[in-house]
Structure 1
């Protein structure tokens, strides 16, 4: 007797899938906290520019490559700059949402794990936004970088931080653009089985080049968020499979039921092969009569 198996790309442990309405509220709440938290961190202009100078000096002391090296590659092509700006403006939220939806439907256990990681990462990042306001490199005169979003379009920010009511332009440290992209890639690499699954890591790599090349983030913004997500992964383990009771055809169930606790392998073999049952053990009433007749003949 054969039973229909689950599709190869679906997690058979559907019991791990949490209620849909609750998850919709949780994810919506996560995005709302993300937006409101960034707005709450607005202001602090002098502190943000002072911190930007410190970050720039630290990067030079660490001999990190200048952000301008990436931007100069983009500026060779007007189309390439616009593609990078569009990627920065449009991929961040939709990619993360699609990732969560796919995991919820196909990999419930991985969905719960990734959602927890994203929540912890976002909370830690918002705390840093409040504690360490940071002007992005496009605002730092010493960096000598172009605000590609404002010059070439499209841009997700207002003309000045003071007039921007939709986003906090001083929330550069750490970069949630890169952090979420890294969480999406790691989640898909772990949850999928394709031999090409490591290609998902191209998403955070492209995101890193985009956020640096468009002068929206420093290298250190990505390094710090990588450290944060590493701590989150270390503290949050992937939930294990729930125990699943194996379905057996009726004769197999009868054979299992016929062996009392402690009968051992000898009694099990007696039922399967038809040999006489060991002394002190009797076949239960629900066992098939064929086994009893076979044992009696021997």
Structure 2
């Protein structure tokens, strides 16, 4: 099945993305399980943040934990952000075919690039590593996913909650910057809100957020190079075909 209007075929895209997400989930679950290394890396990260005066995780976490009214919305945002990610992906596919391929390639690149980082640098989140930190998500979790709150998965660096929200902002900005530049800029409020959320709920460090920004930037470059190479390969395969049919170059 061929796509329409420059879009890939819907069923093909759905199948490939589903298989890629399943593979990513399996690989993600297999890394970040070394407790000793994750604790050591967390302490080293905290020392670095303390040296440059950005170790604000405990103070921000304490302020949120002391305000139950704000805790529930924070947990909703933390748990349901993936709905926004899926919605943005579908919206770009349907309404902005011109930027969909770049957005999709960036998403795939992010998943491919983050796994080696998780494997090489397991990181215990603040809720496990910092004395006195409150696990806000575990305390107010409306989904009651107890297994998510146990210290068995140490992949705090970089934060993919922030990473995916950055991807959403990038995709929306890419789609709207030519026609609605002010609305396009508003999309970047989403990752800012998510950054505050993961800090306050005790799930990530300030440098995890910096790592997410770096991941997006590298993934955008990788996706662009991927797209340029695909375009060159397409030109090389179509030109000889056109000439063999007697078509003028």
1:54 to partner: Cα distance: 0.9
Q: Distance in 2 between matches of 1:30 and 1:206?
A: 28
- 1:114 partnered with 2:103: yes
Q: Distance in 2 between matches of 1:40 and 1:118?
A: 20
* 8 Å contact kept, 1:89–1:156: no
- The structure carrying a bigger helix percent of its residues is 2
Q: Which of residues 34, 53, 75 in structure 1 aligns to 2:43?
A: 53
Unaligned runs of 5+ in 2: 232-249
| 1:173-188 equivalence runs, <5 A | 173-188=157-172
2:195 aligned partner: 208
- 1:136 partnered with 2:125: yes
Report the secondary structure of 2:5's partner residue: helix
1:157 to partner: Cα distance: 5.0
| 1:147-296 equivalence runs, <5 A | 147-154=135-142, 156=145, 158=147, 159-162=149-152, 169-192=153-176, 193-194=179-180, 195-237=182-224
2:33 aligned partner: 43
Number of positions where the alignment pairs a residue of Structure 1 with one of Structure 2: 221
Q: Distance in 1 between matches of 2:28 and 2:48?
A: 25
1:214 to partner: Cα distance: 0.3
Q: Which of residues 65, 68, 80 in structure 2 aligns to 1:75?
A: 65
User: Where has structure 1 moved over 6 Å in runs of 4 or more?
Assistant: none
1:14 to partner: Cα distance: 5.0
Instruction: Output one character per residue of 1:54-89: Cα deviation in whole Å (capped at 9) or x when no partner.
Output: 111111112214112322332342121111011101
1:145 aligned partner: 133
Q: Distance in 1 between matches of 2:173 and 2:70?
A: 28
* 8 Å contact kept, 1:137–1:215: yes
Unaligned runs of 5+ in 1: 1-12, 163-168, 243-298
* 8 Å contact kept, 2:163–2:216: yes
Q: Distance in 1 between matches of 2:187 and 2:171?
A: 9
**Highest CA radius of gyration, 1 or 2?**
1
* 8 Å contact kept, 1:103–1:111: yes
Q: Distance in 2 between matches of 1:115 and 1:157?
A: 32
Q: Distance in 1 between matches of 2:35 and 2:62?
A: 28
Q: Which of residues 2, 19, 26 in structure 2 aligns to 1:29?
A: 19
1:39 to partner: Cα distance: 0.9
1:42 to partner: Cα distance: 4.5
